[in-house]
Amino acid sequence: MYKASDTRYNETAYNRCGCSGLKLPVVSLGLWHNFGDTAAFSNMKALCFTAFDNGITHFDLANNYGPEPGSAERNFGRILKEDLAGYRDEMIISTKAGYTMWPGPYGDWGSRKYLLASLDQSLQRMGLEYVDIFYHHRMDPETPLEETMDALDQAVRSGKALYAGLSNYDGPTMVKAGKILKEMGCPFIINQNSYNIFNRTIENNGLKAAAVEQKKGIISFSPLAQGMLTDRYLKGIPSDSRIATDGRFLHKDQLTQERLDCIRQLDSIARSRGESLAQMALGWVLRDGAVTSVLIGASKPEQILDNLKVIKHSPFTAEELRKIDSLTAEK
């Protein structure tokens, strides 16, 4: 039986999520990759244990994580049951619904029917009575926003979720949704969006500024741009890399010669700071306090330990930020 490290809270930093009472670790673990049925279960356990032993209390899932969809929740539920059940009250577990999960008109998007049915299925797969955060995973252009927000509110009122979150929303829609949830008295506290040196969409669509203004948290997924902002591709494409073995979310044509040259120059800036490229990239996402937590994926425990070094990250100088912007902002 697994026993967590007695020193797990000695080094990790935690940030308050917006103006709520909830704190999240600066680094959270995402189960988007490497927790489906194609991965080794022993490695899944090693990743979870390494994370928790080092103060990472937040584990992020979604109904469709796999492959196949649902398998990440099922595998995580097995780890919870066999090894982590005694630590449930020390953990933040989140899940989402919004992408295609089952055939027909009721297994996708943002209807009340889909969201509440999906949450019940997620809880069953994980063997949980509740999740800490339940997100709507993407904006729905057809379902009334009021219906989707009402489903999130019911999830909380039923005791099946403690907090509500929104994922992949833009700023104006988040503000409208937040107003609806506030009137309902629903504790909407966090936005989950892709954000990294290469992808600044939340700066351009108003989400980041609106979250700060509305005092909501932000958790950044893909803060390392699917591994591009690491040392993985400095010398080409490794045979065991995500591009070579998966290719669903990171493609060879994204690693153009121009992009590789940019990555190498960013690596040079990181090395001048005494950091790895990954540590600098995570520090950039967290640089101004608007982002509560960075959501990392990992295939090896060592990657988690390396990413945790961002906790001791030194502030950027204005010149360093200018150099990073000159290399990447327009791209």
Q: Is 179 within 8 Å of 166 (Cβ atoms)?
A: no
What does the pLDDT average to over 199-203? 97
Domain-embedded: residue 328:
no
Is the model's pLDDT at 307 over the cut of 60? yes
Hey, which residues does 59 pair with through a beta bridge? 29, 93
Specify if 281 maps to a domain: no
> How many helices and strands (H and E) does the chain possess?
12, 10
pLDDT digits (tens, 9 = 90+) for 98-134: 999 999 999 999 999 999 999 999 999 999 999 999 9
Which of 173, 86, 158, 90 lies closest to 123, judged by CA?
158
Residue 141 lies in a domain: yes
pLDDT of 173 over the 70 cut = yes
The DSSP symbol for 7 reads T
Has residue 282 been placed in a domain? no
* Any domain includes 126: yes
CATH of the domain at 51: 3.20.20.100
- 240 inside domain: no
pLDDT, residue 232, reads 87
In which band, very low, low, confident or very high, does the pLDDT at 233 lie, cut at 50, 70 and 90? confident
Strand partners, 135: 96, 165
**pLDDT value at residue 254:** 74
Examine residue 331 and state whether it is found in any structural domain, yes or no.
no
**Domain count across the chain:** 1
Q: Locate tokens 């063997």: which residue?
A: 127
pTM (predicted TM-score): 0.94
Residue 133 domain-assigned (yes or no): yes
Shortest CA distance to 229 belongs to which of 251, 271, 262, 185? 262
**Residue 272 CB neighbour total at 10 angstroms:** 11
**Cα 3 from Cα 185, distance rounded (Å):** 39
Range of the domain at 40: 14-227+287-314
Amino acid identity at 22: L
List all residues 6 or more positions away from 258 whose beta carbon is below 8 Å from its beta carbon. 331
Per-residue pLDDT for 244 more than 70?
Answer: no
